[in-house]
């Protein structure tokens, strides 16, 4: 019989590829652009302890080279390389939700605003808190003249923890691959619950992965999403557009402006008045005029945002070029739209959110998604190239092997993806004996993984589940000898909404279920099945020793958050160590390509 020690192995932390949050070591760095990116940037970071002295040392690349005589601009070459410094103008404790007090360790934010910068210039910088330094990093200010550049847009990193790390790494690769890529506009829904510091803490650490191998950081233009209520959004990004308001214009060059709007407050009133004044200020002076906001007005999945009636007439009156949207967890580009019809002079709506959150199937039959528009289901970013004669938009996704998550490095997986299981649907087991090897499963049905309905990707379709029952139980036998040689054993699983897994009768993993099990489970939350997510179980040798000789039972219970849920997925396998496959931007999938001429030529 396996012991409870396995659960400890499964939850032990492993070395993470981001800065450890301890003491006053600067970590979780990010850069924020708002109104004047040619001359200003806010450098923000986190420390575990409050500390006393927080500052940023910085210097433009040209002067670094002169002072270092063309040596690499490192701190070891002398402090004079970072002769300029700015103290943090704002520091404080991140707000803990009442449910986190006493349960979650807090931390402290710091913001330093760098002003008087030179346009079109690379700046190297280091963050210092109480004498402890960050790595040496760099960013580029925006052009003060009408020069070509690139911008990324994406939204909804949220709950796809593994996928958002892969997308973050991909963003870092794109930053080095495209020297003229200067900023990243984030469409909101960074995390699942914006009131919880525990959720933000993980996102902020993983956001370090967007830093390129060369130390390049893309300044972010952040948007508040529907999952970011409460004060933490402003504490993290230093009140972009004003605390609680979070709408503002970013004049990236004299020819390009991006208006960031907030769909989480009233779209009418002050925000609509401000929007009209900004559109009037910027058009026709700007060659390219865009906006970003979270909830989609012409959505691929959901109903239109309530902002539609307030903003679309203004978009069309002032000839907005592109509206960047998120929230739907899919990918789309609409036809150009004016007065609820396709019109070559209209506004094109692009995006829908694919920075890691599990993707949904779009409602491709909607009229505005028909050719020459498009829709699909893939993690992605939008790469926008602003030039003098055209705007070139590409929706870019990683190759499937990098998004699907995991591959076994052994000759055979410990349990293949198409294994046969016994399952119980429409009833609950009498007790916990169903998790063990001695249980009589002869009255249970038999089916091939995965189990579910509503997604058209299930081998065993549970056609009678919707509206009738919300729990399914599955179990299968494994041979411990098959995993004994693996350096590491992992549970790889696709699930919607929640699950609890048991091996040898002991719980080894759970997700989207707060407490309890079976009919007593509480806190089942929504989770869309995306790529394979992995849960480490320890070394194969130790696992086999704990399981003992003979077959052992891997058992799972899957839960839907409601009887009326549109889909359900439960698909599990055991694998060896995962391959960390490099993401090559040259092998990225181009999901959509779109070119736009200036309005004067349309």
Q: How confident is the model at residue 15 (pLDDT cuts 50, 70, 90)?
A: low
Choice among 95-99, 185-189, 491-495, 594-598 with the minimum mean pLDDT: 491-495
Are the C-beta atoms of 202 and 28 separated by less than 8 Å?
A: no
Query: DSSP secondary-structure letter at 63?
Result: H
| b (16+ CB within 10 A) / e for 99-112 | ebeeebebbbbbbb
The verdict on domain 27-403+585-601 having CATH code 3.90.1300.10 is no
CA atoms in the 13 A half-sphere facing the CB of 5 = 11
CA distance 551 to 547: 8
Q: Which two tokens stand for residue 61?
A: 């690349």
Rounding to the nearest 10 degrees, give the CA dihedral for residues 339, 340, 341, 345: 40
pTM above 0.95, yes or no: no
What are the strands, taking DSSP E only, across 155-266? 181-186, 220-222, 248-253, 256-260
Q: What is the pLDDT of residue 455?
A: 73
Instruction: Identify which of 18, 166, 163, 160 has the alpha carbon closest to the alpha carbon of residue 584.
Output: 166
Q: How many CB atoms lie within 10 A of CB 456?
A: 9
CB 222 within 8 A of CB 257: no
Domain extents in the chain:
27-403+585-601, 406-575
Q: What is the pLDDT of residue 550?
A: 82
Q: Contact, 271 vs 291, CB < 8 A? A: no
pLDDT at 68: 39
167, 76 Cβ separation under 8 angstroms: no
Please state, in angstroms and as integers, the Cα–Cα distance from residue 87 to each residue in 20, 58, 91, 112, 117, following that order.
Answer: 23, 11, 10, 6, 16
Is the pLDDT confidence value at 307 over 80?
A: yes
Q: How confident is the model at residue 81 (pLDDT cuts 50, 70, 90)?
A: low
The answer to whether residue 11 scores a pLDDT higher than 60 is no
Rounded mean pLDDT of the chain?
A: 89
**Cα separation, 54 vs 80, whole angstroms:** 18
Close Cβ partners of 546 (under 8 Å, ≥ 6 residues apart): 2, 3, 5, 6, 504
User: Helices 269-282 & 308-317, crossing angle to 10 degrees?
Assistant: 10
Per-residue pLDDT tens digits for 151-189: 999 999 987 777 888 899 999 999 999 999 999 999 999
- Residue reference for tokens 């190239």: 385
Does the structure show a pLDDT above 80 at 492?
A: yes
- Cβ contact 498:510 at 8 Å: yes
Give pLDDT tens digits for 221-277: 999 999 999 999 999 999 999 999 999 999 999 999 999 999 999 999 999 999 999
Tokens of 95: 């707000």
Distances (CA, A) of 544 to 256, 261, 480, 483: 61, 55, 5, 7
Burial 457-467 (b: 16+ CB within 10 A, else e): ebebbbeebbe
Which residues are within 8 A (CB) of 547 and not within 5 positions of it... i.e. 6 or more apart? 2, 480, 503, 504
pLDDT of residue 76: 39
Q: In terms of CATH architecture, what is 406-575?
A: Sandwich (2.60)
């Amino acid at each position: 019989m396996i012991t409870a020690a396995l659960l400890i192995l499964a939850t032990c932390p492993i070395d993470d590829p981001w800065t450890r949050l301890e003491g006053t070591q600067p970590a979780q760095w990010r850069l924020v652009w708002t109104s004047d990116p040619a001359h200003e940037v806010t450098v923000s970071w986190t420390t575990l302890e409050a500390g006393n002295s927080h500052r940023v040392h910085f210097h433009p690349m040209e002067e670094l080279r002169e002072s270092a005589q063309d040596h690499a601009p490192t701190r070891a070459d002398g402090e004079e390389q970072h002769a300029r410094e700015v103290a943090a103008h704002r520091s404080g404790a991140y707000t803990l939700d009442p449910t986190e007090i006493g349960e979650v360790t807090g931390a402290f934010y710091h913001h330093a605003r760098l002003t008087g910068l030179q346009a079109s210039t690379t700046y190297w910088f280091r963050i210092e808190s109480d004498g402890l330094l960050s790595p040496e990093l760099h960013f580029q200010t925006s052009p003060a003249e009408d020069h070509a550049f690139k911008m990324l847009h994406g939204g909804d990193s949220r709950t796809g923890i593994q996928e958002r790390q892969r997308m973050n790494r991909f963003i870092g690769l794109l930053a080095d691959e495209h020297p003229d890529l200067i900023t990243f506009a984030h469409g909101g829904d960074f995390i699942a619950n914006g009131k919880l510091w525990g959720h933000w803490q993980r996102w902020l650490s993983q956001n370090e992965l967007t830093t390129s191998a060369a130390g390049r950081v893309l300044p972010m233009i952040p948007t508040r999403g529907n999952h970011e209520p409460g004060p933490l959004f402003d504490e993290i990004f230093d009140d972009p557009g004003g605390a609680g308001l979070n709408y503002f214009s970013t004049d990236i060059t004299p020819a390009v402006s991006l208006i960031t709007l907030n769909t989480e407050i009233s779209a009418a009133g002050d925000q609509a008045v401000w929007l009209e004044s900004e559109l009037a200020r910027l058009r026709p002076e700007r060659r390219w005029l865009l906006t970003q906001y979270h909830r989609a007005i012409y959505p691929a999945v959901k109903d239109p945002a309530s902002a539609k009636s307030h903003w679309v007439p203004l978009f069309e009156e002032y000839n907005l070029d592109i509206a960047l949207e998120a929230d739907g967890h899919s990918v789309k580009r609409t036809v150009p739209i004016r007065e609820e019809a396709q019109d070559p002079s209209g506004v094109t709506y692009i995006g829908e959110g694919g920075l890691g959150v599990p993707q949904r199937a779009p409602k491709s039959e909607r009229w505005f998604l028909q050719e020459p528009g498009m829709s699909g289901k893939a993690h992605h970013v939008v790469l926008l190239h602003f030039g003098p004669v055209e705007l070139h938009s590409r929706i870019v996704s990683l190759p499937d092997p990098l998004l699907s998550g995991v591959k076994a490095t052994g000759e055979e997986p410990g349990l293949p993806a198409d294994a046969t299981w016994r399952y119980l649907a429409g009833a609950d087991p009498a007790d916990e004996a169903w998790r063990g090897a001695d249980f009589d499963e002869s009255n249970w049905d038999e089916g091939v993984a995965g189990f579910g309905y509503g997604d058209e990707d299930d081998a065993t379709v549970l056609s009678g589940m919707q509206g009738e029952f919300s729990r399914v139980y599955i179990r299968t036998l494994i041979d411990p000898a098959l995993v004994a040689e693996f350096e590491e054993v992992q549970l790889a699983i696709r699930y919607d909404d929640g699950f609890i897994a048991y091996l040898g009768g002991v719980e080894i993993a759970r997700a989207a279920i707060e407490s309890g099990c079976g009919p007593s489970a509480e806190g089942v939350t929504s989770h869309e099945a995306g790529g394979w997510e992995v849960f480490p179980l320890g070394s194969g040798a130790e696992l086999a020793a704990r399981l003992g000789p003979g077959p052992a039972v891997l058992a799972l219970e899957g839960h839907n958050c409601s009887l009326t849920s549109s889909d359900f997925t439960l698909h599990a396998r055991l694998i060896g160590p995962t391959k960390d496959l490099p993401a090559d931007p040259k092998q990225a999938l181009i999901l959509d390509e779109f070119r736009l001429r200036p309005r004067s030529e349309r």
